[in-house]
């Protein structure tokens, strides 16, 4: 197989789907995983450029089955290894002060966002080595991984951890020619940030419009990012222009000034 090959988690909707579609349009073959069974079924697996399968990133057995399926398909097509892993899977987690955070919500957020990144990366490294030098890992962090953010303790903790993991992996894998970077989007337009804003508004007794205005004022450009902005960064990092970029946390956020909120309101 002459195509470049990518594995993307949480690829059946949102940012993950946008990245998958863009890479397919660029001639890649994409293996898409997602825990949403209906979305995976709708995505299908019949094309030469896209294959999809259910994968729960926080479950080691599910991840192992996902990679076994990929390796079987690669072998059937005469391909060796993969060129890119995009660790896109993540959840927003509960919105509450830390003392009010439910333990199950904390554990689920850590399980998906951090443990899921670990499990997906551990499974991908042997496949990435087969295409090195030139293969890469892109981890989806957040501007919440660069700043503190009230009411989002579990989410923030995992996104900071992902940046630390990114820099460590860049050091471990760099001598083999495998690059590792983190992308740190700010608030990205779409249903997910709408849910976060609604939860924040309910927690603080504000209107959705008030919270959205507050979020946009956190950035110099006074706007949200788009899935297309994130996709373009993935394409850039995998282009010749990105060949020497590794170990970086790259913000796509309109220049975040602060994620502080008025907690005295």
Angle between helices 14-25 and 227-237 (to 10 degrees): 50
Q: Which region, left, alpha or beta, applies to residue 49 given φ > 0 means left and ψ of -120 to 50 means alpha?
A: alpha
Among this protein's residues, is 155 annotated catalytic?
yes
200: Cβ contacts below 8 Å, ≥ 6 apart: 95, 151, 206, 211, 261
Q: Name which of 103, 138, 129, 134 is nearest 22 in CA terms.
A: 138
Q: Which region, left, alpha or beta, applies to residue 151 given φ > 0 means left and ψ of -120 to 50 means alpha?
A: left
Q: Cα separation of 122 and 132, whole Å?
A: 16
Catalytic one among 31, 67, 155, 215? 155
Catalytic residues: 155
């Amino acid at each position: 197989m002459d195509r470049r090959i990518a594995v993307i988690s949480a690829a059946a909707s949102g940012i993950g789907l946008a990245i998958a579609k863009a890479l397919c349009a660029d001639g890649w073959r994409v293996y898409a995983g997602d825990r949403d069974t209906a979305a995976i079924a709708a995505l299908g697996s019949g094309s030469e450029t896209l294959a999809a399968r259910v994968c729960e990133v926080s479950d080691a057995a599910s991840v192992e089955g996902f990679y076994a399926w990929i390796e079987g398909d690669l072998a059937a097509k005469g391909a060796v290894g993969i060129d890119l892993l995009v660790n896109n899977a993540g959840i927003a987690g509960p919105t509450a002060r830390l003392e009010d955070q439910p333990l199950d919500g904390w554990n689920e957020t850590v399980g998906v966002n951090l443990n899921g990144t670990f499990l997906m990366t551990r499974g991908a490294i042997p496949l990435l080595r087969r295409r090195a030098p030139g293969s890469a890992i892109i981890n989806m962090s957040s501007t919440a991984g660069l700043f503190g953010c009230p009411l989002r303790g579990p989410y923030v903790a995992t996104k900071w951890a992902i940046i630390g993991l990114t820099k460590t992996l860049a050091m471990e894998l760099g001598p083999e020619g495998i690059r590792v970077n983190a992308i740190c989007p700010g608030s990205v337009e779409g249903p997910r940030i709408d849910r976060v804003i609604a939860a924040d508004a309910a927690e603080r007794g504000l209107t959705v419009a008030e919270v959205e205005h507050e979020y946009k004022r956190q950035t110099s450009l006074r706007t949200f990012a788009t899935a297309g902005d994130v996709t373009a960064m993935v394409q850039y990092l995998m282009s010749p222009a990105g060949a020497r970029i590794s170990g970086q946390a790259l913000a796509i956020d309109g220049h975040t000034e602060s994620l502080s909120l008025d907690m005295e309101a």
